[in-house]
Structure 1
């Protein structure tokens, strides 16, 4: 059950995770529209896919606007005759703590991640519905959108917003036979390359060696190729019954994330006033408060970064 005869758009696919997704979709038989803001990078991505034996074309434009979303869908139809799959991967980072983050920092990230996902999905769904295509929408989330990360207000908002949109789209698109899901990748990228905690894993990947088992198994941290199989699977007919889900992939690990639900519930006749909460909140909910940020295991001594030693206690991010 491959993707032969299907056509995919992958935004932000000139390099990194996006290119890995595009190459895997092409390996499974789909023709791919590559998207990047750099014409040379986009052209090289197309050559790479064609060298693998696949079919690809490029659209050089920054996602965010309706015009670019229309360009992408039109390119798929013009170059390959149809559209079946959309992967919204394009993204940028403008990391700063809250008091240092400018309006421009916030708006730039929201525009690419959140608005870019919205406009591209709206355009793709319009095509699917008009042409009776049981299409696949695969959006890219992040652990940051699930649990938060220090210094990423804009990114966390965008990635959490994508999950919220997908849950809504799963309801709206179901009747048309279209599915929408979120993939949470945990992989070596340009961002993780700068984090000392992942230094040994990234260095091994850059040398073409297998990452240490601690990263792949214990942390669920791997390469871009470890995520691309999930993207291709969700694009296939085999995943027709999977809709509105958030699925993580990294290293040797695959995770199905829960949807938010009440962690504890209490009732009081007449409702909860200020004094009631002062007196009772701690005893009712104090031991049920939810954690924030990701907590990483302490690095084994042989995997500690060379520049500085990792903390002895588990490092908390966020």
Structure 2
């Protein structure tokens, strides 16, 4: 993927998946604006890229506000003269069950993930439309946003909302030749090391040990670098006709998620649907089509 001459912003790119995305974009030739709330972490990420021959600068700001989003776009234009690619990756976790979750915990996650994705995309879209040369917007979803997860009300809401916005933006920005897609990555990061069934694999990667095929293929779990190629692909000319899609990636697994669709349909004959009628037909016509919640994970080999 040749991204020479293009300029990218990657939010939350000081470490983990964000750094992997930024590094891969730079390796393909793009100049990158690194973003993090920690100045030392951001500068370390910049050194990682520049010492490998890439071009990068850091913009230290917490995403969420319109002012922060505009600062990122302004930095890209001031340093590199334009903007071509936005990767909305910044995120935090404040996990707890519904009955224990505070307003502050809910708002913090939604502000960073959902509002941050909105404000950054709005600022980028304005600039990209002014340039009139197309562009690429890549947003980061999660399996939690697709199917739910215990203890993650705020995160599930934010990630599901991001995918909804992606589908809308893909329509709104099509005439400007700006594609908008979401990826659903699974990788060893600070976020996944707290997941009990993934922790052994996170520890194995940290120790430099290879992951078993079950982890890489069935769970779709690997290193951040394993999930970075799809970002460079979506940022490239090869993906010019791909928009409004949700792509899963992790380990050795690449997937395309479906959009929500009706899985069972019954029609009344001009009478509408009284509750007792629904109760009568549900067991036969709808029960077998009910959808599971949460990730349906395979059992590890014995």
Structure 1 residue 181, shift from structure 2 partner = 0.1
Q: Does 1:193 align with 2:193?
A: yes
- Following superposition, the deviation at residue 210 of structure 1 comes to 2.0
Q: Which moved more, 1:272-281 or 1:95-104?
A: 272-281
Runs of 4+ in 1 over 3 A off after TM superposition: none
What stretches of structure 1 of length at least 5 have no aligned partner? 302-318
Query: How far, CA to CA, are the matches of 2:133 and 2:15 in structure 1?
Result: 29
| Alignment partners' CA distance in 2, 1:85 and 1:10 | 8
Equivalences for 1:4-153 in 2 at 5 Å? Answer: 4-153=4-153
2: CA distance, partners of 1:281 / 1:213: 41
Question: Aligned-pair distance for 1:279?
Answer: 1.5
Q: Deviations over 1:196-232 (max 9, x none)?
A: 3223311221122321111001211111011100011
Q: Deviations over 1:172-207 (max 9, x none)?
A: 000000000000001111122123322331122112
1:314 corresponds to which residue?
none
Q: 2:278 aligns to what?
A: 277
Aligned equivalents of 2:193, 2:254: Cα separation in 1: 22
1:155-166 aligned at under 5 Å gives the runs: 155-166=155-166
Alignment size in residue pairs: 301
2: CA distance between counterparts of 1:256 and 1:195? 24
Distance 1:276 1:92 in 2: 45
Q: Greater shift after overlay, 165-174 or 270-279? A: 270-279
**1:22 aligned counterpart, secondary structure:** helix
**3-state DSSP of counterpart to 2:91:** coil
- Long gaps (5+) in structure 2: none
CA–CA distance in structure 2, aligned partners of residues 207 and 30 of structure 1: 31
What is the match of residue 313 of structure 1?
Answer: none
CA RMSD of aligned residues (A): 0.9
Q: Which residue of 2 aligns with 1:308?
A: none
Cα distance in 1 for residues equivalent to 2:266 and 2:151? 34
Distance 1:200 1:107 in 2: 31
Alignment TM-score, normalising by the size of structure 1: 0.93
